[in-house]
Structure 1
Amino acid sequence: MIFSNEILIRKMKQNDFELMVKWLNDPKVLEFYEESPTNYDKVVNKYGPRVEGKHYVNPCMIEFQNETIGYIQFYPIQENELIKYGYPQNQIIYGIDQFIGETQLWGKGIGTSMISMMVNYLSIHKSVSRVVLEVKNTNVRAISSYEKCGFKKMKELQNDLTLMEWIK
């Protein structure tokens, strides 16, 4: 789907579910990613419809040097979220959520590269005017990465989260 240097962003497949179970049970990942520990059935129930194209969220996997290392999803912000964030309903605004599941690869610039790749893809292929994301206030490494990609802090949300946005 999207390729640059040693990073590939590809559509998620059913055979990726086991990796999601592993990552979504890793305390280091869960410290920053808004998800609770899970099992295979829960992953299939949540991500299966997305993989099959029956959900508005588009799930993707991140590969680095031909190894699957993380997850990224993109989606049009739904009307209730637009209202929550304070945006008008007449704009094309997408959201993204992501994590590197292989925590030994944190801090190596891979996250910044994959986010830049995704924002560029959304700008070109989905004609977005804005991309937004929520980040935990304590996730200093991610906030720094998002800022390197052109995201700006917009407002504080509930549960110690900050809304950040990228504008074309």
Structure 2
Amino acid sequence: MLFEIERLSVRVLERNDAALLAKWLSNPTVLQYYEGRDHPFDIDKVKKVFFDKETDVNRCIIEFKGVAIGYIQYYQLDKETQLLYGYPIVAPVTIYGIDQFIGEENYWDQGIGQLLIRSMVKFLMKHKQANKIVMDPQTWNLRALRCYEKCGFRKIKLLSNHELHEGKYRDCWLIEFTKDASIS
């Protein structure tokens, strides 16, 4: 278990979670916001993307009241990504990125996303000594942006044509939480 707070817990992804990921990542409503409806996952694609390659990405399952409801990953930004985002390499700054989705739609719009983001920020600051945490949501995803801004993230930079989503390159916001920001 990475952490548990209130009724939310985050644990490391396990091989037997593949069916959950395939279920969530084949749902068009979820895919509209994560990966794109033109890229549904079956069990083989889940295994290939999430389990069959070495990576520095830490993959986790989100549980609420003991029920698996979504996915979150975190990773320390590599030098190439830091440069892309406009961060200097020379400064001793530890920057982490996170990506997440709630795959069970009946858990949307209940404040769980805010609890998750705030908890992950605290975890990364305390246990990984992160100075900054970043995400790059697409500009049209207003619900996600509102959630992240309520958690202390702020828009830093527009990333034009940053992410291929449903056959088109989309603009994204680079958003950032800094160590000095307050976590409510």
For normalisation by structure 2, the TM-score amounts to: 0.86
Identity %: 42
Gaps (5+ residues) in structure 1? Answer: none
Larger radius of gyration: 2
> Structure 2 matches for 1:84-163, cutoff 5 A?
84-89=84-89, 90=91, 91-157=93-159, 158=161, 159-163=170-174
Q: Supply the AA of the counterpart residue of 2:157.
A: K
Which blocks of at least 5 consecutive residues in structure 2 are unaligned? 162-169, 180-184
Q: State how 1:20-99 maps to structure 2 within 5 Å.
A: 20-34=21-35, 36-49=39-52, 54-89=54-89, 90=91, 91-99=93-101
Structure 1 residue 78, shift from structure 2 partner? 1.4
Distance 2:74 2:52 in 1: 15
Conservation of the 8 A alpha-carbon contact between 1:9 and 1:61: yes
Number of residue pairs the alignment of both structures matches:
165
Q: How far apart, in 1, do the equivalents of 2:121 and 2:109 lie?
A: 20
The SS at the match of 1:15 is helix
Deviation at 1:30, TM superposition (A): 1.2
Q: Distance in 2 between the 1:28 and 1:83 partners?
A: 33
* Range with greater deviation from structure 2 (154-163 or 122-131): 154-163
Report the structure, 1 or 2, having the larger helix content: 1
The alignment yields a C-alpha RMSD, in angstroms, of 1.2
CA distance in 1: counterparts of 2:78 and 2:43, whole angstroms = 27
Secondary structure of the equivalent of 2:136? strand
The residue identity in structure 1 corresponding to 2:115 is: S
Q: Secondary structure at the match of 1:135?
A: coil
Amino acid at match of 1:8: S
Q: Aligned partners of 1:49, 1:164: CA distance in 2, in Å?
A: 30
Distance 2:115 2:35 in 1: 22
Q: Kindly report structure 1 stretches of 4+ aligned residues shifted beyond 4 Å.
A: none
- Give the CA deviation at 1:160: 2.1
Normalised TM-score (structure 1):
0.94
Once residues 8 and 34 of structure 2 are traced to their aligned partners in structure 1, the CA distance between those partners, rounded to angstroms, is 21
CA distance in 1, matches of 2:114, 2:60: 16
Q: Distance in 1 between matches of 2:78 and 2:27?
A: 29
* Aligned residue identity for 2:23: K
